[in-house]
Amino acid sequence: MISKEEFLLKAYKLGIIKFGNFTLKSGIQSPFYVDLRPIASDPELLKELSQQLLNLLKKSCYDLICGVPYAALPMATAMSLDSGTPLIIKRKESKGYGTKKMLEGIFKSGQTCVLVEDVITSGKSLIETIEEVEKEGLRIKDIVVVLDREQGGVSLLKEKGYNVYNLFTIEEVVDLLYKNNLLSQEELQNIKNFLKSTPIVTAQVKSSRLTYEEKAALQSHPAAKKILEIAIKKKSNLIASLDVSTTQEVLQLAETIGDTIVAVKLHTDIIKDFSEEYVIKLKSIANKKNFLLFEDRKFGDIGNTQQMQFEGGLYKISDWADLITSHVIAGEDSLKIFDSKVGIITIAEMSSSATLTDENYKKRAIEISENISNVIGCVAQSKLPSSLLLFTPGVNLNSIKDKKGQNFNTPEKVFDKNHTDFIIVGRGIYKSTDPKKEALKYQKSGWEAYLKNISI
């Protein structure tokens, strides 16, 4: 491998940096212009660049490489060939949802992907790529960049928790060129003044999370379509978890807060006086107030037992639940026994401290969920691929944890960080002295967080 300086001088000869007076995309007048694309016209130099970039990543662990389109594509390809790491390709053009994929190549959610970028200015293109890649369930920890124009992009990405490794900063480049008599003192000063005086640009990026309308168009299961339609109609993404112990309390709460929610989530096995009559009354309130019935049964057994638990026993869940939760612990076949009418929500990741649902578990849970047609989404505490709806429990506006292992986040946080679809609130509502007022508060706060999430 040649030195960085030698590499730069060879690249300079190809015309990757020009000095003069240039108008940038942003309208700013710049005394230099950088374009790294010519490097691909010199295969030896491209190979050299790939080695330099791989060297920056020598302490990183990753399964895949992805270049930010288009300029970094040859670089990422060369790195893939050099390192034997599979390449994935991100499309630049927008696609008709449900028809073409945004990421091409073979990958599985949960894998770690390194991003490669040629020049970073505000970080906008990188953030767009990150959103697309993470949406498919891939993890990004490291980003490698050939040149940092020192305009705010690197700090923005670091703030967001990514490691950014850059081969050069623009300052280093001009210093090296000056040292090699390729730049006059005056030009050097001119550039340095420009760098000092140019305002830091903050990337304004359109969020790439899908809207409820877009998700409804993607979903084929009736329960998924229904919950999204209710969300749009009621301007609510709130699921109330009514973890109370009598049918009277459930019915009363359902009646009181029914207008503000998309579903009532239940743990029917904690109710003392369950009866068929209760189910009839609850269904009638659900119809009147337009919300779904969601039994949080968390099935976790072999298919044969789960089927008996779902269809039989006291509760006959299959008779009335629109949605149910199930673990994936017993493997894919155990999930195939549920009636196709019920929407299954798998448990991919739990909200409790020290849960065993680590990254690898989540990755496998997502794979299984994507293979079963009536799985409509997952319970998780981080982003999911856009084909699955994300249901987030552990939401509370007033607490950060309880004393039994539960962790809470605010609606704003789970939308902002995880692009959730539905918030699940238990004690925040049913334990309050005024559940109606509190449900309205969560409805409003969840909806505002969603609107903010789709607009930024």
Residue ranges in contact with ligand 5BU by CB under 6 A: 241, 243, 267, 296, 347, 350-351, 379, 393-394, 396, 406, 424-428
For residue 148, indicate whether it is catalytic. no
Closest separation between CB of residue 428 and ligand 5BU, Å? 6
CB-based contact 346:397 (threshold 8 Å): no
Say if residue 95 carries a ligand binding annotation.
Answer: yes
50: closest CA among 104, 1, 17? 1
What residues contact residue 414 under an 8 Å CB cut-off, 6+ apart?
A: 392, 395, 420, 423, 449
Say if residue 149 carries a ligand binding annotation.
Answer: yes
Q: Which is nearer to ligand 5BU, 231 or 242 (CB)?
A: 242
Distance of CA 206 to the CA centre of its chain: 14
List phi, psi (to 5°) of 19: -115, 145
Q: Which is nearer to ligand 5BU, 334 or 406 (CB)?
A: 406
User: Which of the following is catalytic: 47, 192, 235, 298?
Assistant: 298
Closest separation between CB of residue 443 and ligand 5BU, Å? 15
User: Rounded CA gap, 380 and 419, in Å?
Assistant: 11
- Encode burial over 183-214: b for 16+ CB neighbours within 10 A, e otherwise: beeebbebbbeebeebeebebebebbbbbbee
User: Across-strand partners of 392?
Assistant: 423
User: Which of the following is catalytic: 142, 296, 322, 421?
Assistant: 296
User: Across-strand partners of 142?
Assistant: 163
Q: Which is nearer to ligand 5BU, 30 or 268 (CB)?
A: 268
Say if residue 351 carries a ligand binding annotation.
Answer: yes
List phi, psi (to 5°) of 176: -65, -40
Closest separation between CB of residue 229 and ligand 5BU, Å? 23
CB-based contact 324:360 (threshold 8 Å): no
- Which 3 state secondary structure label does DSSP give 423? strand
Question: ∠ CA 148-154-157 to the nearest 5 degrees?
Answer: 145
Say if residue 406 carries a ligand binding annotation.
Answer: yes
For residue 416, indicate whether it is catalytic. no
Residue 150 in tokens: 């020192």
Say if residue 41 carries a ligand binding annotation.
Answer: no
Say if residue 118 carries a ligand binding annotation.
Answer: yes
Closest separation between CB of residue 98 and ligand 5BU, Å? 28
Q: Which is nearer to ligand 5BU, 47 or 427 (CB)?
A: 427
Closest separation between CB of residue 399 and ligand 5BU, Å? 9
Q: Which is nearer to ligand 5BU, 19 or 310 (CB)?
A: 310
Q: Which is nearer to ligand 5BU, 109 or 406 (CB)?
A: 406
Residue 233 in tokens: 């109609």
For residue 296, indicate whether it is catalytic. yes
Say if residue 264 carries a ligand binding annotation.
Answer: no
Closest separation between CB of residue 425 and ligand 5BU, Å? 5
User: Which of the following is catalytic: 301, 336, 339, 401?
Assistant: 301
Residue with tokens 């080695």: 51
End-to-end CA, the chain: 43
User: Residue positions in the annotated binding site for substrate?
Assistant: 243, 265, 351, 406, 426-427
User: Residue positions in the annotated binding site for 5-phospho-alpha-D-ribose 1-diphosphate?
Assistant: 25, 91-92, 95, 117-125
User: Residue positions in the annotated binding site?
Assistant: 25, 91-92, 95, 117-125, 149, 243, 265, 351, 406, 426-427
Residues labelled catalytic:
296, 298, 301
User: Residue positions in the annotated binding site for orotate?
Assistant: 121, 149
